[in-house]
Chain A
Amino acid sequence: MSVRANYANYQGPVRDRVENFHGSQLVYVMWERHLLFCAPLTFLADPAMSFDAFLTEVLTPALAPHPESEKLDFAEAQWRLDGEAFEPRGEASLADNGIGHKSQLRLITPRLSDLADAAI
């Protein structure tokens, strides 16, 4: 469908195009069924950054407040990228891993503690 406007060819500005982020891009991460974080998290990241660096420098500090973060082992985790199963290559960049601007990653971990009962 298309907007019904008072004049022809109405098109609002695309406010979040990647050019507006000064060389960085957005990456969202949802730690599935870990609702201590009320929503998936939004990160500003350099697309040339390696996936491993993204995990250690960006994601790990953000997840630190969660009691299960100490037991979290990324080697045991599964990932999904924009709805598809995903096997990241740690040394490759976000861009080379196919993680684009406004991509959503899902982190799926095995049961780590009793907090899982209430999906915390």
Chain B
Amino acid sequence: MNAKTSKRLNMKERYRIMTRDLGWEPSYQRYEDIFPQESFEGIKIVDWDQWEDPFRLTMDNYWKFQAEKERKLYAIFDAVSQNNGQMKISDPRYLNAVKLFITAVTPLEYNAYKGYARVGRQFGGVGARIACQMQSIDELRHTQTQIHAMSHYNKYFGGMHDFPHMFDRVWYLSVPKSFFEDASTAGPFEFLTAISFSFEYVLTNLLFLPFMSGAAYNGDMNTVTFGFSAQSDEARHMTLGLEIIKFILEQHEDNVPIVQQWLDKWLWRGYRLLSIVGMMMDYMLPNKVMSWSEAWTLYYEEAGGALFKELERYGIRPPKYADQTVIGKDHVSHQAWFIFYQYGHATAFNTWVPTAKEMDWLSEKYPDTFDRLYRPRFELLAEKAAKGERFYNNTLPQLCQVCQIPLAITEPDDDTLISHRDTVHDGERYHFCSDGCRDIFHHEPEKYVQAWLPVHQILQGNCGGADMEKVIGDYYRIEMGEDNLDFEGSAEQRRWAAWKQAV
């Protein structure tokens, strides 16, 4: 540091010294040995100094900001726990959204922490390394604060114990797990395109706003407060996501087709992953925020549309199959809930047929599809349940090789026919839910042939044998009758009624 500097540094100087000035030119090792992953993806970086950090945040300030946020956050967690916050929620069915979050989303935060730590190491540019370092620490903080936010509910409700164990094993959690592992096993630039841009920038509003607003509408103070505490981090991640994509595109024209293919891939993967958010919004929130269809219109079609218009000048077009997401917005949440309902003996949360009032809300929000296709299905299920024949599907579903979701989504141009594609690669047949997932496979078959498909793993005998009760209970650690099955008649429903009576 310059010893003559006696006055306080201005922000720009301070940023330079605390970030860019930390780098050095290697003298006795080759650049490509120090950063061995920087070039294999084909991305060309001409000048790392062009990297702009929009926040000019330095590590010392970062710690100060974060520590202040932590103090406020934990004060509220304490207050919630001292005031029996679990009793303030709208309806015990709401907690199922929290169970889905802690098992499916929180482990992604942890994977993001690991992912940014890895890719940060791989970039030659100091600015990019520091940005990845901060985001890595943010993601670890989000993991921890989410666990702490939800641990209060874990004392009173089922399904939240063993969430990291479940993430690695349970059939539906292979969907988020395989999504993130696909990104984490890609090169560093694809990782950033996948997670910082496609996920954090384009799609994050569709993940966080529904969960946080859902919490606010349903009396879940802890999750709302966590959401607020993460908001400024998320804003930073989103801005970074956009800067990253522009930086890569501006560095070299050869980067454009590579990035385009990643955008096509990751928008589609993200869209499929968010099906679970869609069903959470439309089916799991007793007090609704907005419908999935409305959210997709607002946050993807309108906001995403403007974004891709802005990227046109780099030669980028909107992601392939974006039109199919627009058709799908009136179907996927219903189809996803229907999967979980019929495999509700193998879920770490309760499922149910929507109430008459909820079905009316769905009819209103989905005038073209709900009454025609989905209401009759739920009415039949309600009828069966009333006769004591609650429907559980005891045969395992066929899964997509890429997104790992059961093939439950219908054709874009025929909503009564399941969408299915297949291909033969090296003498082996593979199945997909869509053109989007099939394209992803064709692009890198050597990668996706190794997919750990839960259904096939069970049938190979790798999940504790052929007895499904053992798979669910011992291998998944879903406690039969305690964590799973219909909400009607559940342990959760009984406990809630008893507590309410006691008040």
Listed in ascending order, the chain A residues whose CB lies under 8 Å from chain B are: 1-6, 10-17, 20-22, 24, 26, 28, 30, 32-33, 35-44, 62, 65, 67, 82-83, 100-104, 115, 117-120
20 A-B residue pairs with Cβ-Cβ distance under 8 Å, sorted by A, are A1-B442, A1-B444, A2-B446, A3-B444, A4-B187, A4-B444, A15-B456, A16-B460, A17-B428, A30-B418, A35-B416, A37-B395, A39-B397, A82-B429, A102-B430, A103-B429, A104-B420, A115-B380, A119-B415, A119-B417
Number of contacts between A and B (CB, 8 Å)? 145
From B41, B395, B418, B456, give the contact of A4 (CB < 8 A): B41
B394 at the interface (CB under 8 A from A): yes
**Also in contact, A1 and B377, with CB within 8 A (given A15-B452, A37-B393, A104-B420):** no
Report yes or no: B397 in contact with A42, Cβ–Cβ below 8 A.
yes
Report yes or no: B450 in contact with A12, Cβ–Cβ below 8 A.
yes
**Also in contact, A28 and B377, with CB within 8 A (given A14-B428, A103-B429, A119-B416):** no
**Also in contact, A38 and B408, with CB within 8 A (given A4-B41, A6-B36, A104-B420):** yes
What is the bound-complex CA distance between A32 and B459, given in angstroms? 24
Q: With A4-B41, A104-B420, A119-B417 given, name 16 new contacts (CB 8 A).
A: A1-B443, A2-B444, A4-B187, A13-B450, A16-B428, A16-B460, A22-B461, A35-B377, A35-B410, A38-B342, A40-B398, A41-B397, A42-B397, A65-B393, A104-B422, A104-B431
**What per-residue 1/0 map shows which CB atoms of B360-389 lie under 8 Å from chain A?**
000000000000110011001000000001
B335 at the interface (CB under 8 A from A): yes
Report yes or no: B428 in contact with A118, Cβ–Cβ below 8 A.
no
Q: Is the interface of B mostly helix, strand, loop or mixed?
A: mixed
What is the bound-complex CA distance between A44 and B395, given in angstroms? 10
Report yes or no: A118 in contact with B373, Cβ–Cβ below 8 A.
yes
B445 at the interface (CB under 8 A from A): yes
B480 at the interface (CB under 8 A from A): no
From B398, B446, B459, give the contact of A10 (CB < 8 A): B446
In chain B, residues 451-467, which have Cβ atoms closer than 8 Å to a Cβ of chain A?
Answer: 451-453, 455-456, 459-461
Report yes or no: B40 in contact with A5, Cβ–Cβ below 8 A.
yes
What is the bound-complex CA distance between A35 and B372, given in angstroms? 13
CB nearest neighbor in A for B40: A6
From B187, B448, B449, B461, give the contact of A6 (CB < 8 A): B187
For B406, the chain A residues whose CB sits under 8 A away are: 38-39
Smallest distance from the beta carbon of B261 to chain A beta carbons, Å? 9
For B416, the chain A residues whose CB sits under 8 A away are: 33, 35, 119
In chain B, residues 319-358, which have Cβ atoms closer than 8 Å to a Cβ of chain A?
Answer: 335, 338-339, 342
Q: Which 7 A-B pairs have the closest CB atoms?
A: A12-B450, A119-B416, A39-B406, A39-B397, A118-B376, A3-B444, A40-B398
For A42, the chain B residues whose CB sits under 8 A away are: 395-399, 455-456, 459
Smallest distance from the beta carbon of B415 to chain A beta carbons, Å? 8
Smallest distance from the beta carbon of B401 to chain A beta carbons, Å? 9
Q: A10, A17, A40, A104 — which one has the most chain B CB atoms within 10 A of its CB?
A: A40
What is the bound-complex CA distance between A100 and B447, given in angstroms? 23
Listed in ascending order, the chain B residues whose CB lies under 8 Å from chain A are: 36-37, 40-42, 187, 335, 338-339, 342, 372-373, 376-377, 380, 389, 391, 393-399, 406-408, 410, 415-418, 420, 422, 426, 428-431, 442-453, 455-456, 459-461
Smallest distance from the beta carbon of A28 to chain B beta carbons, Å? 4
For B456, the chain A residues whose CB sits under 8 A away are: 15-16, 26, 42
What is the bound-complex CA distance between A92 and B449, given in angstroms? 31
CB nearest neighbor in A for B36: A6
Report yes or no: A26 in contact with B417, Cβ–Cβ below 8 A.
no
What is the bound-complex CA distance between A32 and B431, given in angstroms? 16
What is the bound-complex CA distance between A20 and B448, given in angstroms? 17
Report yes or no: B459 in contact with A26, Cβ–Cβ below 8 A.
yes
Report yes or no: B396 in contact with A102, Cβ–Cβ below 8 A.
no
**Also in contact, A120 and B418, with CB within 8 A (given A16-B456, A39-B398):** no
**Also in contact, A38 and B339, with CB within 8 A (given A14-B428, A33-B417, A82-B422):** yes
What is the bound-complex CA distance between A103 and B338, given in angstroms? 25
Report yes or no: B397 in contact with A40, Cβ–Cβ below 8 A.
yes
What is the bound-complex CA distance between A118 and B335, given in angstroms? 13
Report yes or no: B422 in contact with A41, Cβ–Cβ below 8 A.
no
Smallest distance from the beta carbon of B40 to chain A beta carbons, Å? 5
Report yes or no: B420 in contact with A40, Cβ–Cβ below 8 A.
yes
For A37, the chain B residues whose CB sits under 8 A away are: 342, 393, 395
From A5, A14, A41, A44, give the contact of B398 (CB < 8 A): A41
For A102, the chain B residues whose CB sits under 8 A away are: 428-431
What is the bound-complex CA distance between A4 and B393, given in angstroms? 40
What is the bound-complex CA distance between A82 and B187, given in angstroms? 35
Report yes or no: A39 in contact with B451, Cβ–Cβ below 8 A.
no
What is the bound-complex CA distance between A10 and B185, given in angstroms? 12
From B335, B339, B395, B443, give the contact of A62 (CB < 8 A): B395
What is the bound-complex CA distance between A37 and B342, given in angstroms? 8
Report yes or no: B429 in contact with A39, Cβ–Cβ below 8 A.
no
Report yes or no: A65 in contact with B391, Cβ–Cβ below 8 A.
yes
What is the bound-complex CA distance between A25 and B37, given in angstroms? 40
For A115, the chain B residues whose CB sits under 8 A away are: 376, 380
Smallest distance from the beta carbon of B116 to chain A beta carbons, Å? 18
Smallest distance from the beta carbon of A47 to chain B beta carbons, Å? 14
For A3, the chain B residues whose CB sits under 8 A away are: 443-447
Report yes or no: A20 in contact with B420, Cβ–Cβ below 8 A.
no
For B396, the chain A residues whose CB sits under 8 A away are: 41-42
What is the bound-complex CA distance between A103 and B431, given in angstroms? 9
For B453, the chain A residues whose CB sits under 8 A away are: 15-16
Report yes or no: A104 in contact with B460, Cβ–Cβ below 8 A.
no
CB nearest neighbor in B for A102: B429
CB nearest neighbor in B for A27: B398
Report yes or no: A12 in contact with B377, Cβ–Cβ below 8 A.
no
